[in-house]
Amino acid sequence: MTRRRLVLASCVIASSIAAARAQAPSSSAEAIVRSPAFAAASDFLARDYDRFVRELITLTEIPAPPFKETARAAAFLQMLRAAGLADVEADPEGNVMGVRRRSTSTQGAPSDTAMLAVLAHLDTVFPEGTEVRVRRDGTKLRAPGVGDDTRGLALMLTLVRAMDAAHLQTPHDILFVGNVGEGSVRDFTAIGDVVNVASRLQSEARGGEIVASARLVEHLPEIEGERVELSLRNRTEPVVAYRISR
């Protein structure tokens, strides 16, 4: 529950950064996390857990080897539509996406073109023909690709439903994307350095962990974890981060 709440906080805070420039970043983040709408969204995540697991299993059991994600992409596109996103579509490369619209009170503002993109990749690294049936081991689900990154796809869906259930508004549109080809394309240069660092931080995570930057965790004082310094590719200085395991 803590990990899903952390991702929800990251999504809402990131979408609100530009609109909150007049405030100190820590105070604006704390205001969001302590708001009744955020609390309601967090509560919804617990109630939506069973559906989250069902969708995770459904997607995991659709084979998606690199560059052969078509069937999973089609299923995820329908799930994005069912989640109520706008402008749900697939691009010529096979990426599927949908938009959660910003608050109507901010429409017409000068920053109308600003948008936050939240991505999880559709493919897995496992070759065609791999058995992908999910089996339960106590409270754990075991299958190739169930965590990386099928869980990210299912997580986006439950976040959208949580934000809608709580009427949680953001000052910018949020684009939710299931992207293709990640199993062979290891850099996200076109998306930017922040995504590169986030991807490399998460690659340092052990089973059941999230690795979050210190900059994010400092905005969320109720999140606890082990402070570490990590050496990441293409970084001359260690990156301070936290290992979060509960």
At 151, which helix (H) or strand (E)? Answer: helix 150-165
d(CA 126, CA 45): 30
**pLDDT of 235 higher than 60:** yes
Tell me if the pTM is above 0.95: no
Q: What is the pLDDT of residue 49?
A: 94
The tokens of 241 are what?
A: 């981060």
Would you place residue 18 in the very low, low, confident or very high pLDDT band (cuts 50, 70, 90)?
A: very low
**149-198 pLDDT per residue, tens:** 899 999 999 999 999 999 988 888 999 999 987 655 544 443 556 666 77
Domain with CATH 3.40.630.10 in the chain: 2-185
Q: What is the pLDDT of residue 19?
A: 47
Q: Domain 2-185 belongs to what topology?
A: Aminopeptidase (3.40.630)
CA 102 to mean position of chain CA atoms: 18
Going by C-alpha positions, the residue among 65, 69, 100 that lies closest to residue 83 is: 100
d(CA 229, CA 219): 18
**39-55 pLDDT per residue, tens:** 899 999 999 999 999 99
The tokens of 111 are what?
A: 């920053």
- Mean pLDDT of all residues in the chain? 82
**1-17 pLDDT per residue, tens:** 556 666 666 666 566 54
Between the alpha carbon of residue 27 and those of residues 19, 33, 121, the distances in Å are 13, 10, 32
